[in-house]
Amino acid sequence: MGGPALEIFKFSLYLFVPVAALIHFGDPAWYRQNVLPYRDRLFPPSKTIQSLPTDPHGIRAELDRIKSERLAKRAAQEDEGKQ
């Protein structure tokens, strides 16, 4: 129907579009200008950096602290539910 000219046009279009997208969006300057500011708005940098314990006693103490916080939160929720 279209002939070989149409096939050559379609083939060149199939090659040109991905290569052009890679050249445009793969540019580091474009990434720094458009992606990094948006990323910082979506995921603001954390202000609190928490160090993880490495020794067994520190790990056990941290787990106990987390468990007590959960129990206190659960007790507060149950008290709200009863009122």
Q: pLDDT truncated to tens, each residue of the chain (83 aa)?
A: 679 999 999 999 999 999 999 999 999 999 999 999 998 889 887 776 678 888 999 999 999 999 999 999 999 999 888 76
* pLDDT number for residue 65: 93
* Tally of domains within the chain: 2
Judgement on whether residues 28 and 66 belong to the same structural domain of the protein: no
Measured CA to CA, the distance from residue 83 to residue 81 in angstroms comes to: 6
Same domain, 39 and 5: yes
Name the residue range of residue 66's domain: 53-82
Same domain, 40 and 3: yes
Amino acid at 83: Q
In this prediction, residue 80 carries a pLDDT of 87
pLDDT attached to residue 48: 66
Q: pTM higher than 0.85, yes or no?
A: no
59 and 37 co-located in one domain: no
Cα separation values, 49 from 22, 69, 80, Å: 36, 19, 32
Residues 39 and 70 in one domain: no
Residues 42, 63: Cα–Cα separation, whole Å: 30
Please check whether residues 42 and 67 belong to one and the same domain: no
Q: Are residues 70 and 40 in the same domain?
A: no
